[in-house]
């Protein structure tokens, strides 16, 4: 099964006929097989409509069943769209059917139609985007004049609704996939890779822009047998990334075995790692296989390697060099084929300097170091992770969670996250359990410093005007450029919209410039 087969499964049966493109009849798989980004999607729409229209302006919205928009994609010819709303009505998403809408005035009941009308749109042709259970979005062809869309065009667009849904789904899947799977041959993705995508990565590993360099390193090192040293504060995802490297390697079908070097009393570590023979020491009633043997052919993850006692460091070094182990009390050497991934939240260089870590083992492990940044160093990923954990917790506890209050997202983006992602996961879970409203609020823990409140000399002091400017810009971003109304920027900042507009003017902030 490949990505296209997955799309086929997700769409209603019989919605993907052969399609007619400019260059003759093609199968839908051929039409979207090479589709990789928004531009390709727009090019496809363009090629479908070109026989009927001179200029093509397309707007695509992806929304959940409540109408909350997760993506806007648009490419317009001769139209400049004003900032689009964060939500459309539930009815607009759920009951949407294909058809033409003539627009003569702003529609007070629909923020989308009002925005489009105010942007100069006078007619739109709507196509609901459907998977096999419900609508997941809509595609609109926009026109500046009435009576732009002839009957034949409407028929053609309706006929291609399945193809457009498939193409959009592919884009969404590509966005959801981790970077290292977004290779050129994605269209031919094989079964194993798809399993990896299904079973592990999207469900567990969220990667925003800030993690891209790390993902890139993981992708480079995964297929090799090189030893990897993962560093980073507690809760930054070292174990998750170790597992991801294993699953992206050729060892994926063999075991991934974890040893926490800090959790074991020193006298048990050797037996844990290398095993023992029956009677090797008091209490060794049976022969026991160690973690190295359990990981045969696979990967051994040595967590908190910095805590390993010095004598064990020497034994570990020997095993890594010789690629063979001896069980305690045994006389045979057993060859092992194991890839080592080690992790630490200590600075191993300092440990070496202090004489607590053997330099020779340090260099053995330091073949391919990957540093996982703390959450406060990758604030741009915070909203994405919050959303991910809220969705997981809502599923786990059977709660209806539509959104996290923008004011909470703003406050949490400023929070210093001493416990990193693990702390966030627990905080969001607690909030989902405690909140009854569909839009949950999450409070920043009391007594903790936010970035803004950090008084350390390394934080450059900002002028009052610059602080105000940045706060307003952030509020506008979270409100999707909206100044007025509930959850608009003025509401978030707890000031009157007119006051906000006056401050924006004074500080030279132009709303359209800062909408992402």
Ligand X SMILES: Nc1ncnc2c1ncn2[C@@H]1O[C@H](COP(=O)(O)OP(=O)(O)OP(=O)(O)O)[C@@H](O)[C@H]1O
Contacts with ligand X by CB under 6 A lie at 204-207, 232, 234-240, 303, 345, 421-422, 425
For the bound state, the minimum distance from the C-beta of residue 297 to ligand X, rounded and expressed in Å, comes to 23
- The nearer residue to ligand X, 159 or 371, going by C-beta atoms, is 371
Residue 201's φ and ψ, nearest 5 degrees, are -70, -55
Least separation in angstroms between residue 342's CB and ligand X is 12
State which residue has the least CB distance to ligand X: 237
What minimum distance in Å lies between the beta carbon of 142 and ligand X?
37
Angstrom CA distances, 203 to 132, 394, 395, 506, stand at 21, 14, 12, 45
Task: Give me the least distance between CB of 258 and ligand X, in Å please.
Answer: 10
User: Considering beta carbons, is residue 84 or 245 the nearer one to ligand X?
Assistant: 245
CB of 232 to ligand X, least distance (A): 6
Q: Shortest approach of ligand X to residue 256 CB, angstroms? A: 13
Going by C-beta distance under 8 Å and a sequence separation of 6 or more, which residues neighbour residue 482? 83, 85, 86, 476, 488, 489
Q: Pick from 6, 31, 28: which is nearest to 17 by CA?
A: 28
Q: Least Å distance between CB 378 and ligand X?
A: 10
Residue 32 CA to residue 166 CA, distance in Å, equals 8
* Shortest distance (Å) from residue 191 CB to ligand X: 24
For ligand X, the closer CB: 32 or 401: 401
Task: Choose between 59 and 370: whose C-beta lies nearer to ligand X.
Answer: 370
- Of the pair 123, 272, the CB lying nearest ligand X is at 272
DSSP codes joined into one string, 319-381: HHHH-EE--BT----EE---EEEEEESS-HHHHHHTTSS-HHHHHHHTTEEEEPPPGGG-GGG
Nearer to ligand X, 427 or 500 (CB): 427
Q: Count the helix, strand and coil residues of the chain and give each as a percent rounded to the nearest 5.
A: 45, 15, 40
Our CB check for ligand X shows the closer of 43 and 176 to be 176
Q: Which residues of 387-414 are buried (b: 16+ CB within 10 A; e: fewer)?
A: bbbbebbbeeeeeebbbbbbbbbbebbb
The least distance separating ligand X from the CB of residue 214, rounded to whole angstroms, comes to 9
**Long-range CB contact pairs, 434-439, < 8 A, 24+:** 435/399, 435/401, 438/66, 438/400, 438/401, 438/402, 438/403, 439/402, 439/403, 439/404, 439/405
Residue placing its CB nearer to ligand X in the complex, 237 or 290: 237
- When the beta carbons of 232 and 275 are compared against ligand X, the nearer one is 232
Task: For the CB of residue 240, give the shortest distance to ligand X in the complex, in Å.
Answer: 4
Cα torsion for 74, 514, 212, 189, to the nearest 10°? -10
Torsion sign across C-alpha atoms 216, 217, 218, 222: positive
Q: Burial level of 189, CB count in 10 A (0-12/13-18/19+)?
A: buried
Residue 314: CA count within 13 A, CB half-sphere: 2
Tokens of 485: 């109304």
Measured from the CB atom, is 49 or 205 closer to ligand X?
Answer: 205
């Amino acid at each position: 099964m490949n990505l296209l087969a997955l799309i086929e499964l997700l769409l209603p049966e019989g919605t993907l006929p052969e399609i007619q493109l400019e260059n003759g009849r093609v199968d839908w798989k051929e039409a979207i097989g090479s589709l990789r980004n928004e531009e390709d999607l727009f090019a496809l729409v363009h090629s479908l409509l070109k026989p009927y229209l001179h200029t093509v302006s397309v707007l695509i919205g992806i929304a959940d069943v409540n109408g909350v928009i997760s993506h806007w994609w648009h490419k317009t010819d001769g139209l400049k769209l004003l900032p689009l709303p964060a939500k459309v009505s539930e009815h607009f998403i759920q009951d949407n059917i294909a058809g033409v809408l003539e627009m003569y005035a702003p529609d007070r009941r629909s923020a989308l139609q009002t925005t489009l009308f105010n942007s100069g749109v006078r007619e739109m042709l709507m196509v609901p985007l459907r998977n096999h259970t419900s609508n997941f979005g809509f595609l609109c062809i926009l026109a500046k004049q009435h009576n732009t869309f002839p009957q034949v065009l409407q028929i053609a667009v309706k006929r291609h609704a399945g193809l457009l849904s498939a193409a959009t789904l592919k884009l969404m899947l590509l966005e959801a996939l981790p970077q290292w799977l977004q290779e050129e041959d994605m269209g031919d993705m094989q079964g194993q890779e798809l399993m990896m995508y299904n079973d592990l990565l999207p469900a567990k590993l969220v990667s925003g822009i800030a993690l891209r360099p790390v993902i890139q390193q993981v992708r480079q090192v995964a297929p090799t047998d090189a030893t990897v040293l993962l560093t980073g504060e507690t809760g930054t995802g070292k174990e998750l990334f170790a597992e991801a490297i294993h699953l992206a390697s050729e060892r994926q079908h063999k075991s991934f075995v974890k040893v926490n070097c800090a959790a074991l009393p020193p006298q048990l570590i050797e037996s844990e790692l290398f095993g023992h023979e029956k009677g090797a020491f008091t209490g060794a009633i049976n022969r026991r296989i160690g973690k190295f043997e359990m990981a045969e052919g696979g990967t051994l993850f040595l967590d908190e390697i910095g805590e390993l006692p010095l004598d064990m460091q020497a034994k570990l070094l020997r095993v890594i060099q010789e690629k063979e182990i001896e069980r305690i009390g045994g006389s045979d050497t057993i060859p092992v084929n194991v890839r080592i991934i080690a992790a630490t939240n200590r600075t191993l260089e300092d440990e070496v300097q202090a004489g607590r870590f053997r330099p020779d083992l340090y260099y053995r492990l330091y073949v391919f170091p990957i540093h996982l940044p703390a959450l406060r160093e990758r604030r741009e990923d915070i909203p994405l992770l919050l959303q991910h954990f809220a969705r997981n917790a809502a599923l786990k506890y059977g709660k209806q969670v539509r959104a996290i209050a923008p004011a909470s997202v703003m406050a949490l983006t400023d929070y210093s996250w001493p416990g990193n992602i693990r702390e966030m996961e627990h905080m969001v879970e607690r909030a989902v359990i405690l909140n009854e409203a569909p839009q949950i609020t999450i409070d920043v823990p009391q007594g903790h410093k936010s970035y803004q409140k950090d008084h350390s000399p390394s934080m450059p002091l900002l002028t009052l005007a610059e602080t105000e400017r940045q706060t307003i810009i952030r509020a506008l971003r979270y409100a999707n450029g909206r100044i007025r109304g509930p959850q608009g920027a003025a509401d978030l900042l707890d000031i009157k919209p007119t006051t906000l507009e006056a401050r924006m003017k004074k500080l030279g902030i132009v709303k359209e410039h800062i909408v992402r």
